[in-house]
């Protein structure tokens, strides 16, 4: 196993990672190595029988190593079989991606597809990722060393550069160029043109660094860490610790932000919303008046200085002695102000729902209760045009409130303004009662044809199919008419359906067991 990989990024500041191995197998190898004699000494001093014994031992060791290699290959084959079986099991559990949503795209270039989950690809990608993630951990280690004042000269240099950037923000455009020159180009040039050995420089101290001549070393390249190397296992160690840090930070942030913002405590969340809204208005008005350069400068110095170990100890002791009491007092005042000034006893949201009572004219001329439906089933409705029967329930008790709502009134109320809902829906061909029970009747259109009394129905239809000139004179009626029960003039024109509207108030109800979980 190689110790390091040349040209690979790895965080080598920490201790070496410890790998747990099989002790029995390790003891077998170590015992073989301890019992193996030195072949050079045996060739010089040992007799022939001892040399034969040594050769037999070496031969036995080779056989044992071959057996271990065969066992490793068998275990690898077994693990690959286990991976395949597990992959097949996961394919049965994990649903296949729905490809129907991608049918609207004409080619894959418009909507690039991603491979589905499988264990070999996951394992291969993890190894590739772990071999190349070292640069992130090196940067992370450098930041930790910088802000914890591990090297005070580096931290002070950073604060000096940060001060210049805060006082003159236009220098931010120079930072990428400086990083390109000082971080990439100059180190690469020095690697290709190394300095002469120290022995030559001591002879002539005035000799400058050589900047001319052909390159004396190959160009540096960044290589991924080789598998089973120390750098590879260091990356795995840092990746493991980073995942733990991320999980802890995620849980802490959720624990800090969720209770004040998810309205589990509506008074606290309403107070936070009020303060945030006022702060937003203030920032919209006065943001251009604030000294942002000085603010960022002081904030950067304060955050960096708080990372110093001595200042951290003093800050913690001061927080326990003084700030904790003031924080408790401020929190108690905020709770008292919230309980007195935040009013949350507002009425629940209400809506008006409607249902139409339908009745049908029987063959003996009496109106029969038919059903209660959400549609008035007017003559020009879509269901009437399609000759579909109305849909609904036969009893008032079976009418349910909409989902997520509950009744706020005990009984249904008859809508006495039947003319208004007829006009709102632009219903035509009906008769509206303005008094009494407020029924809205269908109007029956009567057709009178020339010479129909002389020709039977069959002969008349045959005549129409032959194309003879028999004109139907249809009586033109208004869009709707007003009528009442006392009026009998319009009963002869009424159709087979009538309806009236009932209304009732509903309110939003508490939905138990339904929590809106926010995605991470």
Give the angle subtended at the CA of 101 by the CAs of 96 and 105, to the nearest 5°: 120
Structural domain count, the chain? 2
pLDDT class for 293, splitting at 50, 70, 90? very high
The predicted structure's pLDDT at residue 472: 38
pLDDT (tens digit per residue) in 252-291: 999 988 888 888 888 888 888 989 999 999 999 999 999 9
In a shared domain, residues 216 and 69: yes
State the residue range of the domain holding 358: 350-447+483-508
Domain-located, residue 420: yes
pLDDT at 49 over 80: no
Per-residue pLDDT of 479-494, as tens digits, reads: 556 665 434 444 557 8
Domain boundary residue among 217, 246, 261?
261
Q: Kindly report, residue by residue over 453-471, the tens digit of the pLDDT.
A: 333 333 333 333 333 343 3
Residues 255 and 133 in one domain: yes
- State pTM to two decimals: 0.58
pLDDT band at 451 (very low <50, low <70, confident <90, very high): very low
Do 16 and 136 lie in a common domain?
yes
Around Cβ 21, how many Cβ atoms within 10 Å? Answer: 7
Alpha-carbon torsion angle 481, 487, 490, 495, nearest 10: 90
In a domain, 219, yes or no: yes
Distant-in-sequence, close-in-space partners of 230: CB < 8 Å, separation ≥ 6: 1, 2, 3, 4, 10, 16, 17
Residue 13 within a domain = yes
User: 166, 300 in Cβ contact below 8 A?
Assistant: yes
| Within a domain: 459 | no
Domain boundary residue, one of 197, 226, 261 = 261
Domain membership of residue 315 (yes or no) is no
User: How remote is the C-alpha of 320 from its chain's centroid?
Assistant: 39
Closest of 294, 302, 297 to residue 160, by C-alpha: 297
Higher pLDDT, 470 or 333: 333
End-to-end CA distance of the chain, in Å?
40
Supply the pLDDT for residue 155.
93
pLDDT of residue 91: 65
* 50 assigned to some structural domain: yes
pLDDT of residue 214: 83
Q: Which of 261, 286, 320 is the last residue of a domain?
A: 261
- The verdict on 254 and 365 lying in the same domain is no
**Residue 12: how many other CB atoms lie within 10 Å:** 15
Higher pLDDT, 367 or 452: 367
Q: pLDDT tier at 319 (50, 70, 90 boundaries)? A: confident
Task: Provide mean pLDDT across the span 159-182.
Answer: 93
Q: Is residue 372 part of a domain?
A: yes
Residues 229 and 126 in one domain: yes
pLDDT(180) > 90: yes
DSSP structural state of residue 393: B
* Assigned domain for 455 exists: no
8 and 131 share one domain: yes
**Mind listing the pLDDT tens digit for each residue in 376-434?**
998 888 888 888 888 889 888 889 988 889 898 889 999 998 889 998 888 888 888 88
Strand partners, 498: 359, 441
Q: What is the pLDDT of residues 197-238, one digit of tens each?
A: 766 545 455 566 667 778 888 888 888 888 888 889 999 999
Q: What's residue 372's pLDDT?
A: 92
Say what angle helices 134-147 and 119-132 make with each other, to 10 degrees: 40
**Span 65-124, pLDDT tens digits:** 665 565 555 555 555 666 677 667 666 666 555 444 444 444 445 556 778 777 888 888
- Total count of residues recorded for the chain: 520
Name the strand (E) or helix (H) holding 355: strand 350-361
Q: What is the pLDDT of residue 481?
A: 61
Same-domain pairing of 497 and 374: yes
Q: Are residues 254 and 380 in the same domain?
A: no
For the chain, the helix, strand and coil percentages under 3-state DSSP, each to the nearest 5: 50, 10, 35
pLDDT at 246 exceeding the cut of 90:
yes
Average of per-residue pLDDT values in the chain: 75
Q: Within this chain, do residues 50 and 199 fall inside the same structural domain, yes or no?
A: yes
Q: Are residues 374 and 246 in the same domain?
A: no
């Amino acid at each position: 196993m190689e110790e390091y990989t040349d040209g690979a990024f790895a965080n080598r500041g920490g201790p070496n990672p410890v790998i747990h191995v099989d002790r029995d197998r390790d003891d077998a190898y170590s015992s073989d190595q301890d019992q193996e004699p030195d072949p050079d000494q045996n060739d010089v001093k040992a007799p022939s029988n001892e040399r034969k014994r040594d050769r037999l031992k070496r031969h036995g060791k080779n056989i044992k190593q071959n057996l271990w290699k065969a066992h490793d290959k068998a275990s690898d084959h077994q693990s690959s079989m286990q991976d395949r079986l597990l992959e097949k099991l996961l394919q049965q559990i994990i649903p296949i991606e729905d490809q129907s949503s991608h049918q609207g795209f004409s080619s894959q270039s418009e909507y690039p597809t991603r491979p589905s989950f499988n264990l070999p690809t996951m394992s291969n990608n993890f190894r590739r990722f772990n071999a190349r993630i070292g640069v992130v951990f090196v940067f992370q280690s450098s930041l930790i060393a910088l802000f914890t004042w591990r090297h005070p000269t580096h931290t002070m240099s950073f604060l000096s550069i940060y001060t210049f950037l805060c006082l003159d923000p236009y220098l931010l455009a120079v930072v990428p160029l400086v990083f390109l020159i000082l971080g990439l180009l100059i180190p690469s040039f020095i690697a290709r043109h190394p300095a002469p050995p120290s022995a030559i420089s001591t002879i002539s101290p005035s000799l400058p660094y050589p900047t001319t001549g052909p390159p004396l070393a190959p160009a540096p390249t960044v290589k991924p860490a080789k598998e089973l190397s120390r750098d590879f296992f260091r990356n795995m160690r840092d990746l493991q610790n980073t995942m733990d840090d991320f999980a802890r930070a995620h849980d802490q942030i959720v624990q800090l932000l969720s209770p004040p913002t998810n309205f589990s405590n509506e008074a606290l969340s309403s107070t936070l919303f009020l303060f945030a809204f006022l702060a937003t208005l203030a920032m919209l008005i006065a943001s251009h008046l604030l000294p942002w350069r000085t603010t960022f400068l002081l904030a950067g110095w304060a955050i960096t200085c708080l990372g110093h170990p001595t200042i951290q100890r003093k800050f913690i002791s001061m927080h326990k002695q003084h700030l904790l009491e003031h924080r408790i007092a401020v929190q108690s005042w905020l709770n008292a102000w919230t309980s007195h000034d935040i009013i949350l006893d507002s009425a629940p949201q209400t809506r008006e729902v409607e249902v139409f009572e339908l009745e049908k004219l029987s063959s003996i001329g009496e109106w029969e209760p038919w059903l209660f439906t959400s549609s008035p089933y007017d003559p020009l409705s879509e269901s009437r045009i399609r000759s579909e029967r109305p849909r609904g329930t036969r009893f008032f008790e079976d009418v349910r409130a909409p989902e997520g709502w509950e009744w706020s009134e005990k009984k249904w109320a008859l809508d006495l303004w039947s003319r208004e809902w007829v006009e709102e829906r632009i219903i035509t061909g009906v008769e509206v009662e303005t008094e009494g029970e407020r029924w809205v009747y269908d109007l029956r259109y009567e057709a009178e044809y020339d010479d129909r009394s002389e020709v039977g129905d069959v002969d008349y239809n045959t005549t129409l199919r032959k194309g003879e000139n028999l004109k139907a004179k249809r009586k033109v009626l208004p869009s709707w008419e007003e009528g009442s029960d006392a009026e009998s003039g319009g009963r002869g024109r009424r159709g087979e359906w009538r309806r009236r509207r009932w209304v009732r108030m509903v309110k939003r109800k508490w939905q138990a067991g339904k929590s809106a979980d926010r995605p991470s």
